[in-house]
Amino acid sequence: MSVNLPAYQQVLAALQPYGARLVAVSKIKPVADIQALYNAGQRAFGENYVQELVQKQPELPADVEWHFIGHLQSNKVKYIAPFVSMIHAVDSFKLLQEISKQAAKHNRVIDCLLQVHIAEEETKFGMDAAELEALLQQWQQQPLPNIRIAGLMGMATNTDNAAQVLKEFQQLKALHAAVKARYFTGHDYFRELSTGMSGDYHLALQAGSTLVRIGSLLFGAR
């Protein structure tokens, strides 16, 4: 077992003043490691690969809260729709439609986060502000009853420049506030901001993150 329980407690202590939650990123980690962290009290786990998540889910307790945090293809949604709690990286209206369609088959409503591109690298997925606006307008005109847009998600530039990372997180927080004011007034469910990983979660918390996605600090390097 390679779970670092002291690091887990340190992360929880860091999150506590902000009221933020931890999503333990368990991709390519064995079921035994996930169970060990579950036994320590963790319930929300994040996976990047559909096939791996589908294999792990039945081997772990039923009250695990599964978050899909990777890039999701529309044709794979049906495999996780029966049980996934939240999908973090939605970057098209077409994907939202498919999630709602598959959730309806199981009489479920699935929380979704809209992924915004905030980093300087071209390799990161996500929408720009104009694409996000277009998606939200489409959603307003064509409601999807089996999904709930619960907030935004973003990944900062992979750099040692803390000021730049903090600025990117703050820009996403400002966008979150603007979107909430325009599209979700009176709806308390649009409150999540999924930002921050092992190397930058302290900065994300300063900029209003409500969900941090941490793997290597807890489970060791992949």
Evaluate if residue 212 carries a pLDDT over 80. yes
Let me know how long the chain is.
Answer: 222
The string of DSSP letters for 122-147 reads: TTS--B-HHHHHHHHHHHHHS--TTE
Q: What is the CATH number of the domain that holds 49?
A: 3.20.20.10
Evaluate if residue 222 carries a pLDDT over 90. no
Report the pLDDT value the prediction gives residue 2, as an integer from 0 to 100: 81
Contact status, residue 74 vs residue 94, Cβ threshold 8 Å: yes
Residue entry with tokens 């929300």: 44
In this prediction, residue 143 has a pLDDT band, given cuts at 50, 70 and 90, of: confident
CA distances from 151 to 13, 19, 55, 89, 212 (A): 24, 16, 28, 11, 13
Reported pTM: 0.95
Residue entry with tokens 């092992």: 198
Report the pLDDT value the prediction gives residue 1, as an integer from 0 to 100: 60
How many structural domains compose the chain? 1
Evaluate if residue 16 carries a pLDDT over 90. yes
Report the pLDDT value the prediction gives residue 125, as an integer from 0 to 100: 78
Report the pLDDT value the prediction gives residue 123, as an integer from 0 to 100: 61
Q: Report the pLDDT averaged over residues 13-19.
A: 97
Report the pLDDT value the prediction gives residue 167, as an integer from 0 to 100: 95
Q: Report the pLDDT averaged over residues 73-85.
A: 97
- E strand or H helix at 194, and its extent? strand 192-194
In this prediction, residue 187 has a pLDDT band, given cuts at 50, 70 and 90, of: confident
In this prediction, residue 120 has a pLDDT band, given cuts at 50, 70 and 90, of: confident
Report the pLDDT value the prediction gives residue 119, as an integer from 0 to 100: 86
Report the pLDDT value the prediction gives residue 154, as an integer from 0 to 100: 95
Evaluate if residue 124 carries a pLDDT over 90. no
The closest alpha carbon to 127, from 142, 139, 111, belongs to 139
Evaluate if residue 88 carries a pLDDT over 80. yes
- Helix boundaries (H) for the chain: 5-15, 31-39, 50-56, 77-80, 93-104, 129-141, 162-183, 201-206, 216-219
Residue entry with tokens 């690969």: 49
d(C-alpha 83, C-alpha 71), whole Å: 18
Helices (H) and strands (E) in the chain, counts: 9, 8
Q: Report the pLDDT averaged over residues 53-69.
A: 97
Half-sphere exposure of 65 (CA within 13 A, CB side): 14
d(C-alpha 213, C-alpha 201), whole Å: 8
In this prediction, residue 121 has a pLDDT band, given cuts at 50, 70 and 90, of: confident
d(C-alpha 220, C-alpha 21), whole Å: 20
Contact status, residue 131 vs residue 85, Cβ threshold 8 Å: no
Q: Report the pLDDT averaged over residues 144-157.
A: 96
The range of the structural domain enclosing residue 173 comes to 5-219
Q: What rounded mean pLDDT belongs to the chain?
A: 94
The two three-digit tokens of residue 165, written as one number: 């990372």
In this prediction, residue 112 has a pLDDT band, given cuts at 50, 70 and 90, of: very high
Evaluate if residue 18 carries a pLDDT over 90. yes
Evaluate if residue 221 carries a pLDDT over 90. no
